Amino acid sequence: MRQYFIFFIFGILLTTSSCRTDFYTVASSGNLKFSKDTVYLDTIFKNIGSATYQLKVYNKSKDDISIPTIQLKNGLNSKYRMTVDGMSGNNGKIFKDVTLLAKDSLYIFIETTADITDANPTDFLYTDQIQFDSGANLQEVALVTLIQDAVFLYPKINSDGTKEKIQIDGKSFDGFYLDENDPINGNELLFTNKKPYVIYGFAGVPVDKTVTFQAGTRIFFHANSGLYVDNKASLQINGTISTTDKLENEIIFEGDRLESLYANIPGQWNSVILANGSKNHSINHLTLKNAISGLNIKSPDNATIQIKNTQIYNCAEYGILAKNANINGENIVINYAGLSSLSCIYGGNYVFTHCTFNNNWQNTSHFAVNLSNILVGANPETNPLTQATFNNCIIYGSSTNEFNLNKSTNAAFVYQLNNCLLKFSNSTTNPDYQFKTDAVHYNQIILNENPKFFNVSQNKFNIDNASAAFAKGNQIYVIPIDIIGKNRTFHPDLGAYQSAAFTK
């Protein structure tokens, strides 16, 4: 019993001695180290909060130190806000007596929400500094944010506090119809390149109206937002060839998160939806990225939709989803789609020439091109595919088979590939996939050879003379100018890009 008592007393003494009651720090001597000397918070739109950025602060000394102040230089008036090792301080602006142990570090997380009026009027930069200590021990880390002015379009708030709604396929979404006589924005059916536009919810084009996008327009869609072109309404996207890497004449649709982290994340916004019965659509020099489905075309009228010189990237489901549509596509590039880069379902009429349909989505259950005359649940479930013609195209990707036919014999299914490079690696006895012997559907097919794109991960689908697609196009189908304005009047390459070797 006495032995247990001795162990008990020893345990109490050990525990007591291990609890520091003599914890002391010394004042910071101005020798803190930082993970960076400037924190660049990526471009934001006015009055929209930024992402959270990180700064790490190191105490390399052998002493536990106390930092008298960590604060923003502009104090409580700063548009930045911080947390320091989980502490919020005085409104996220000023922190007193922050302890940093020897050979240890702490994290500072930084955000901002600022107006264009807060920025420098010459360069639109908003800046501040994080100050550590003061006087002779003062150390500073700069904060820099670029602020963009923009036109904001969003649903109104009803008298009962609910948001304005728009009906799409019988479902209700947050949204509004664009007004050609809006008291604040003027003609909302005309988008120009004077300022970028930020859209919340679905922006609808009213019946019998036309929405026009001028060259150089930039559209940023918030989460769950999109563009809806209603019955008998029209879409005109009028981009032109750009002469610099800034794509100054391209029309760009993307999400409203401008941080580099979000540059290639799919599904940030919903889609451009062309409703049943919409009409007279023309799309030229559009770059669309990071949507759920890029172009969602729902059985418009019989007039042909012109889609030219268009790039669609990083869509969670489809690059183009066309339902019983009538499309003429030239110089189109699509890559990275969770289900299919191009999916033409429930029949329709399609001609695609000098297009690059690639799909390097991270799983193997995707296609570059999917054709179908079926729609489960429709009445009837089949509809004629009267034409699906691909001329001088590339159909490729990371999956074993990038071309899929979903065919019912209850309706017409007419398709033909002429002078195309195609990836379909599995041998099959299915008569629909006899690429070398079926001259009705396949002519001059280059099968399973590498097009050697410049850089698929960066969506650069240019080729050179090492490509299997080099100079393999048929002059009969040639589109004289490629997607970036190069001449391909002779020796055409397959796909949307003409290589430099034969360019006059």
Give every CB contact of residue 1 below 8 A, 6+ residues apart in sequence. none
DSSP 382: B
- Compute the CA torsion angle 431, 365, 420, 289 (nearest 10 deg): 150
DSSP 5: H
Token pair of 255, please?
């999400």
Token pair of 45, please?
């739109």
Cα separation of 196 and 215, whole Å? 12
Give every CB contact of residue 431 below 8 A, 6+ residues apart in sequence. 438
Largest CA distance in the chain: 105
Residue pLDDT, tens place only, 52-62? 999 999 999 99
Strands 367-372 and 394-397, bridge-based pairing = unpaired
Angle at 137 between CA 131 and CA 142, to 5 degrees: 30
Residue 117, classed as helix, strand or coil, is helix
Per CATH, the number for 26-148 is: 2.60.40.10
Partnered with residue 477 across adjacent β-strands are: none
DSSP 86: T
Provide the residue-wise pLDDT of the chain in tens; the chain has 504 residues: 445 444 444 454 444 444 444 456 787 888 999 999 999 988 889 888 888 999 999 999 999 999 999 999 999 999 999 999 999 999 999 999 999 999 999 999 999 999 989 999 888 899 999 999 999 999 999 999 999 899 999 999 888 888 999 999 999 999 999 999 999 999 999 999 999 999 999 999 999 999 999 999 999 999 999 999 999 999 999 999 999 988 999 999 999 988 888 899 999 999 999 999 999 999 999 999 999 999 999 877 667 899 999 999 999 999 999 999 999 999 999 999 999 999 999 999 999 999 999 999 988 789 999 999 999 999 999 999 999 999 999 999 999 999 999 999 999 999 999 999 999 987 889 999 999 999 999 999 999 999 999 999 999 999 999 999 999 999 999 999 999 999 998 889 999 999 976 544
Sign of CA dihedral 10, 15, 21, 27: positive
Alpha helices per DSSP H over 133-286: none
Token pair of 441, please?
């559907």
pTM of this structure: 0.85
* CB contact at 8 A, 453 and 462: yes
Q: Where are the domains of the chain?
A: 26-148, 151-477
Burial class (CB in 10 A: 0-12, 13-18, 19+), 15: exposed
